[in-house]
Amino acid sequence: MPTEELKAVMNSQKSVKDFKDYQILYLVDLHKNKTAKDISSMLGITSNKVYKTVEKYNIHGVLWKKGNSWGGRREARCLMSFEDEKIFLNSVVEEALSGQILTYRHVWLKLETQLGKRISDDYVWDLFKRHGWSKKAPGKNHPQSDVAAREEFKKNSQNYWIPNR
């Protein structure tokens, strides 16, 4: 890649990590007579990082940054694919609306039977989070409580504490 094009690609990067990787390539291309040790001292990185970045670029060419993403779900290690999880949760919704599922524990047991293996509590909570579900808890007040009596208690009770002397 020509030096000017490399500079344009470097400046268009969104993440700092990608910018620094392209900065290494740009400086290597710009200062052809410098060693990896010189370039690493200019950038404040190790010379090994310079060697690895240039090696990746030389092996894979222009597409050297493609497929180098970290994070996210690794489908090979997942118990269920995202689509399978969606289908499972839709069946859970149907059962919950009919009153068969009340707590997360019911979902956990149903998921274990479907997968045929033991799973952790965290897996269920992570499943809920991935699909935008949240924990719903009942309100603080009982639905049959007397609102007038509660307000009367608030008005007539002390709202500060006086210690005994």
pLDDT, averaged in runs of 10, over the chain (165 residues):
82 85 89 89 91 89 70 70 89 84 84 90 88 77 85 81 74
Q: How much is the pTM?
A: 0.43
With beta carbons less than 8 A apart as the criterion, state whether 56 and 82 touch. Answer: no
Rounded CA separation 58/110 (Å):
50
Vertex 19: Cα angle to 16 and 22 (nearest 5): 155
**How much is the pLDDT for 70?**
62
pLDDT at residue 49 in the model: 92
